[in-house]
Structures are given as C-alpha cells and as structure tokens.
Amino acid sequence: MSQQASKQDVVIRVRSLCNRFGSTEVHKNLDLDLYRREILGVVGGSGTGKSVLLRSIVGLLQPDSGVIEVFGQELQALSPDQRSRVERRFGVLFQSGALFSSLTLQENVALPLIEHARLSRNDAEHLARVKLALVGLPANASVMVPAQLSGGMVKRAALARALALDPEVLFLDEPTAGLDPIGAAAFDRLIVTLRDALGFSVFLVTHDLDTLYSTCDRVAVLSNKRVLVEGPLETVEATDDPWIRDYFHGPRGRAVHRARTATTGNVE
C-alpha cells in the first residue's frame, strides 16, 4: 500500500497521540495510518504500548491528547450515540478470545446481532451459525461451550463473533498467541482469505514473525513512545535500529527466512 494513498483510502488516522499512566508516558506524539483493505502489523518490544494503541483506537481507553479519526470522523468529538455507531463498524478479537463461558458458540456470536442489529433470537442464531462456518468451524461446534474447545477453535469462534456485524475494520490482539505452529499458520491463512473475500482492513498487534511475513501488507514498529518506522517488510527490515536488527535478523528471524526460502524456493 503506497504511503501516497489518497485521504479516501485512510480508514484510521492517528496524530500526535499521547497516553500516560501516572508518571509513565507510553505514547508521545505517535502518528499512524491504516488504509482500506490492508493488513497492518504493529510490533515492538515489551512495554511499547501496542495493545494500549489498539485500545485507544477502539474506544476502550481515553488518550491524554492527540487525534484519532475513523472513517473521517474524530472519535473524541462525537456524541456517545454517534461514537457507538462508528464503533459498530469495528470487530475486535482479544488475545484470550473473551467468549462468555456459559454461552454456546452460536449464542456468543448471536449476542451482538441481537443487541446491536436488533435481530430476533432465531435469525441471530441462524446468522451466527453462518459466521461460525465462515471461519472454518464444524456445524456441531455451534452448540458447544468454550470449555469444550481447543485453543484454535476458541480463536476461530472469537473471530466469528468479531465478524458478526460485518465490520469494516478488524482489530486483532496477538491472534496466534498460544497456538501451535500448524494452528497459527492456518489462522494466518484464514485472516488473509477473509480479508480478500470481505474487503475489511486489519489492525494486527503481534509478536509472531511468521504472522508478519504471511499476512501483512505493512508493518509499524513502536519504539521510544512513537512509530519508529512503518512500511513494507523490506523497508522495515532494512532500518538501522538495534531492536529491529535483533527482531528481524536474530536467530528467530533467520529461522523464519530459512523456512520461507525452503517453502517458496526463493533465494534471499
């Protein structure tokens, strides 16, 4: 995605964002854009505020200062009703899945359809089963509760709930955390397939190098309270910074490169 994209291509625009917790400053004058239909990976060391940034954008955290524009509207300037309508265009998948443990999967996915789309219970649960099938879960999973599922199935069910209202932007917080390599790779492929089919944008917080290389159009690196660099992976990899060298060119980074070379046959 070109950085010269038109204003119409920008779905989220963050400018001069500042977040503090007491005397600790997490973000200072942070700028970042998310473009239409792209998958943006957000990475950084521990404590750089990746999840804090996500929570600021989706409205779970009020920034200390700065501007967050979503679909051309400044979130902080909207009334509660206006803001709620904008936020319904988001889908969010938290790291733990955050499913209601006492509800079946179809009930979990149906809940936002009943509360926000005002569908009847029967219609909502029918559509919930469609969403569960869309993310690759078998039909019998719809009547299971989260405790009966594997970690990978919980992630997929949480993704189905995030997609319940047909969002234009999907937020993913460490979506492959806790998954085995095969399950993580399958989940990565699923995200790309759904993005291509449904046309939403993805804001992806991750530490998983395989996920970055498999899914992301651009990557933004958080460091020193701001975005250190953002762009295609080859641009980010070439940045002269100690953390970037350790992350992309350390032992794990080299292992990912070797694996991708073996898979694709390309010489890097």
Tens digits of per-residue pLDDT, 198-250? 999 999 999 999 999 999 999 999 999 999 999 999 999 999 999 999 999 87
Say if residues 236 and 228 touch (Cβ distance below 8 Å).
no
pLDDT band of 123, cuts 50, 70, 90: very high
The β-bridge partners of 91 are 170
* Long-range contacts of the stretch 182-185 (C-beta < 8 A, 24+): 183/151, 183/152, 183/155, 184/208, 184/210, 184/211, 185/210, 185/214
pTM assigned to the model = 0.89
> Residue holding tokens 């239409």?
36
pLDDT the model gives residue 113 = 95
Number of Cβ within 10 Å of residue 99's Cβ equals 22
pLDDT the model gives residue 4 = 47
**Averaged pLDDT, 108-125:** 94
What is the C-alpha to C-alpha distance for residues 156 and 122, in angstroms, rounded to an integer? 22
Phi, psi values for residue 35, rounded to 5°:
-100, 160
Summarize pLDDT for 59-101 with one digit per residue, the tens. 889 999 999 999 999 988 888 888 888 888 999 998 777 899 9
pLDDT band of 267, cuts 50, 70, 90: very low
What is the C-alpha to C-alpha distance for residues 133 and 208, in angstroms, rounded to an integer? 26
Summarize pLDDT for 5-64 with one digit per residue, the tens. 555 599 999 999 999 999 999 999 999 999 999 999 999 998 899 999 999 999 889 999
Continuous segment of H or E residues that includes residue 115: helix 105-115
SS3 242: helix
Continuous segment of H or E residues that includes residue 21: strand 10-21
**Domain extents in the chain:** 7-89+167-264, 97-166
Q: Give domain 7-89+167-264's CATH architecture.
A: 3-Layer(aba) Sandwich (3.40)
